[in-house]
Structure 1
């Protein structure tokens, strides 16, 4: 897997990223790959925020994975910095190849480089395969998550 490159996403990556976001049961109901307008607006916000790190994994010039890493400075834990990993997606052709592990390891290493003391993530309750994956990488279930659409 030496031909893998993890790099900051560009606007040109949006079609591939959105296609991966839409390529599962949950994403199919909430993503719209045919209209990239809202994603371009969101990308501009993300790209302009130094606490956001939207990356893609590229192999042979093809986008095969993505994740977003958010840096969160805080007062709790003696003023520690944490990062949040979100929107981890692997192209269907690459699932089971070890790419997900490489992306998460990149996120953990990059979090250390950013001065973070803690890496956290959430995963939809229905994604049991993802839960096993994260636990295999050393993540521990620690909280209940709550959402409120507004």
Structure 2
């Protein structure tokens, strides 16, 4: 992966990020790549927050992967600082190349640099391939997650 560069995302990367978010079994029904307005607004807020780290993986000037790392400060687990990983996506042309592993290793390294003692993520219960991937990386399915639309 020597020709790969992981860097902070810029507003110019938002269309490519949204396209990757929309390009899977769940994203195609819940993302709207035709209207970038809400994504651009959300990116502006996240980009201004020092606890949010949206990155892209770039190869030959093309965005081929992304994830968001959020640093969460809390009181539980002896006031552990956590790294929360969200929105991991790999461009369909790059799946199976090891890029996902590289991005997740970047996230763990960066979280540790930022003082996190724990890194966590949630994954939709329908994403069984993703679950196997995360388990291969050393993550364990230790919790059941709940969400409620507001």
State whether structure 2 residue 134 is matched by structure 1 residue 134.
yes
Quote the residue 2:73 is aligned against. 73
Confirm or deny that 1:33 pairs with 2:33.
Answer: yes
CA distance in 2, matches of 1:58, 1:125: 29
Length-normalised TM-score, structure 2: 0.99
Matched residues, number: 150
CA distance in 2, matches of 1:109, 1:145: 25
Q: CA deviation at 1:142?
A: 0.6
Q: How far apart, CA to CA, are the structure 1 residues paired with 2:4 and 2:33?
A: 25
Deviation at 1:79, TM superposition (A): 1.2
Match of 1:146 in 2: 146
RMSD (Å), alpha carbons:
0.5
**Do structure 1's residue 110 and structure 2's residue 104 form an aligned pair?**
no
Alpha-carbon distance in 2 for matches of 1:28, 1:80: 35
State the TM-score, normalized to the length of structure 1.
0.99
Give the whole-Å Cα distance in 1 for the aligned partners of 2:132 and 2:80: 27
Give 1:87-106 correspondences, 5 Å limit: 87-106=87-106
Note the residue ranges of structure 1 that are not aligned, 5 or more in a row. none
Runs of 4+ in 1 over 6 A off after TM superposition: none
Q: Secondary structure at the match of 1:47?
A: helix
Partner of 1:21: 21
Q: Deviations over 1:16-74 (max 9, x none)?
A: 00000000111000111111111010001100111100000000100000000000011
Report what 1:3 is aligned to: 3
CA distance in structure 2 between the aligned counterparts of 1:78 and 1:125, rounded to whole angstroms: 29
Unaligned runs of at least 5 residues, structure 2? none
Q: Distance in 2 between matches of 1:127 and 1:25?
A: 9
